[in-house]
Every structure is written in C-alpha cells, then in structure tokens.
Amino acid sequence: MKLRIAFDFDGTITRYPHLFKEMVESYTAQDHKVFIVTGTKDEQVVIDKLQEWGFPHIGILVLPEKKEYKDVPKFKREFCIMNKIDLMYENNEYTAELIREVCPVFLVR
C-alpha cells in the first residue's frame, strides 16, 4: 500500500533536518508520496533549505498569500483532506489536534 505523507517545515523539518531527510528518502524509495505543507509564504526559502540539507525533490505547498498565519492550522487540515494524506508530521499541538480528526499525526517535539 502506497502512503501519502505530509511534513510540516518550520519547527518540524527545521528542528531535525538530517533525521527527516533520511525519513523522506526512505519513504520516497518505497514509492510513497511525500509532501511538505507549511505556513511559510516564501516557497523559495523552503526549497533553498531543503537543497542545502540534501533533500530529494518533493512537493511543497506554502500558505497562499491571501491567508494569514492564524489560518495555517485549517489550511493544513484542508490540505490533508483534499490530498487524502495518510500520515502527518507536525510540531504544533493545536494544528496536530485539528489534523488528527482527518489522519494520524506524529507530534514532533
């Protein structure tokens, strides 16, 4: 069974970049679909950091310009619903609780 897995960027991947790089590589090697979904509005910043850390090319979804930071938890939850995400890695407790209604979440500390 192929999974659809989403990772938060700020506070999750940025906290343990080398660990999450290995996880992403492992998931993609098994043909699972991997996404980064973030409240960061500047996609290039995310791309630059991922390249710096040696991440493979994966899908990145940033918060739309029209949205405010307070919209991030709902934005991520909607993303998980629309993309049928099977598993999410997230560092924010409130966001994790919202997403847990949709799919399992690993809370990163």
pTM, entire model: 0.91
Q: Set out the domains of the chain in order of their start, with CATH numbers.
A: 4-107 (3.40.50.1000)
For the segment 37-87, what is each residue's pLDDT rounded down to a tens digit?
988 878 899 999 999 999 998 887 776 666 666 788 998 999 999 999 999
The pLDDT tens digits of the residues spanning 13-29 come to 999 999 999 999 999 99
CA–chain centroid gap for 91, Å, is 10
φ, ψ (nearest 5 deg) of residue 52: -60, -40
- pLDDT on residue 65: 61
